[in-house]
Amino acid sequence: MTPPATGICVVAPAKVNLTLHVTARRDDGYHLLESLVVFASVLDRISLEPAETFSLVVSGPQSHHLELLDPEDNIALRAARAMARLANHKDGVRILLEKNIPVSGGMGGGSTDAAAVLHGLMRLWSFRPSRTLLQELALVLGADVPVCLRGRSTIMEGIGDSLRDAPPLPGFWLVLANPGVAISTPLVFQTRSGAFLPAVPLTDAPRSAEDLAAQLRERRNDLTAAAISLAPAVGECLATLTGLPGCLLARMSGSGATCWGLFATEYEAQTAARTVHAAKPEWWVAPAAVLHSVDPFALANRPPLSR
């Protein structure tokens, strides 16, 4: 994406839940969570250009779901309008969004776009709200927006509003695979059934990818059964990833349908992704590095990772 002459480019990395413990349901319908969240090198790219009004143009390989919707409903545009209100900024902004993260895929695609727009506009408008105001604005946009704004490996609690650093994580790679289904997050939460189980936070820093996989195996994504009941292809996706050479563990991210396989090396992840692509050409699949700390501006100037 070419930077606009007067504007700014920013990237929005995919959010991946390595664990997702759902521990209770609040009276307002929201659920209390405990989740280990990391960011992966699958990036939406966003350009922000000063303009008199607010507008959004979506392009890219995953734009098809969004093109059918009213841009006014897009969370990236809602984030821009909300930030303008907070900053008392009178003009608008033209947003170009290159969508590479599958929509409604459990990777926080909309939330990470919104967070990137907030980062971009703070820089474009030289506006720095207090941490509290920024956090409040992010949470109103969506429960995953605060963690996306933080952009580093995080333990997320509450409904997504309580955030702290994850223990240091070792180097590892992911293969992300989506069996071509978009699942509604509210529907997955509604479909979840059974007693709530306690969270099992990751407390010790894993020493290696193998150790991380062993620790994650003892933990859960509590939305998996609900997602499989709504989209049985999620079960097939998990089985496919689990069977790949070098796959240390496979789980679902967020409310699905995207699943991840964990690998110790880039070579194994790249090879596994090619294997899945050859066997399931209709699925979306990507090898991904884990970005332990995201600089959305520095990454915007880097060419995309080769697939």
Dihedral sign computed on CA atoms, order 291, 295, 296, 299: negative
The reply to whether 142 sits near ligand C5P by the rule CB under 6 A is yes
The reply to whether 254 sits near ligand C5P by the rule CB under 6 A is no
Q: Which two tokens stand for residue 276?
A: 């899945």
Q: By C-beta, is 119 or 192 nearer to ligand C5P?
A: 192
Q: How buried is 279 (Cβ within 10 angstroms: 0-12 exposed, 13-18 middle, 19+ buried)?
A: exposed
Choose the stretch contacting ligand C5P; rule: CB under 6 A; options: 29-37, 49-57, 209-217, 285-293.
29-37
User: Are 234 and 227 within 8 A, CB to CB?
Assistant: yes
- The single residue listed with the structure tokens 């105001």 is 133
Binding pattern for the stretch 69-108 against ligand C5P, x by CB under 6 A and - elsewhere: ----------------------------------------
User: Are 223 and 48 within 8 A, CB to CB?
Assistant: no
Q: How far is the CB of 157 from ligand C5P (least distance, A)?
A: 10
- For residue 25, the cross-strand partners are 31
Name which position in 102, 105, 106, 160 contacts ligand C5P (CB under 6 A): 160
Q: How far is the CB of 49 from ligand C5P (least distance, A)?
A: 27
Pairing assessment for the beta strands 92-98 and 55-59 based on DSSP bridges: parallel
Q: By C-beta, is 7 or 151 nearer to ligand C5P?
A: 151
Choose the stretch contacting ligand C5P; rule: CB under 6 A; options: 2-10, 27-35, 222-230, 244-252.
27-35
DSSP state of 243: T
Q: How far is the CB of 222 from ligand C5P (least distance, A)?
A: 11
Count other C-beta atoms under 10 Å from residue 134's C-beta. Answer: 18
Count other C-beta atoms under 10 Å from residue 95's C-beta. Answer: 26
Binding pattern for the stretch 204-243 against ligand C5P, x by CB under 6 A and - elsewhere: ----------------------------------------
15 is catalytic: yes
Check 44, 99, 113, 144 and give the catalytic one.
Answer: 144
27 is catalytic: no
Q: Which long-range contacts (CB under 8 A, 24 or more apart) does 81-84 make?
A: 81/54, 82/137, 82/140, 82/141, 83/117, 83/118, 83/121, 83/122, 83/125, 83/127, 83/137, 84/54, 84/121
Binding pattern for the stretch 180-199 against ligand C5P, x by CB under 6 A and - elsewhere: -----xx--x----------
Query: Which residues form the interface with ligand C5P (CB under 6 A)?
Result: 29-31, 33, 142-144, 159-160, 185-186, 189
By annotation, the residues acting in catalysis are 15, 144
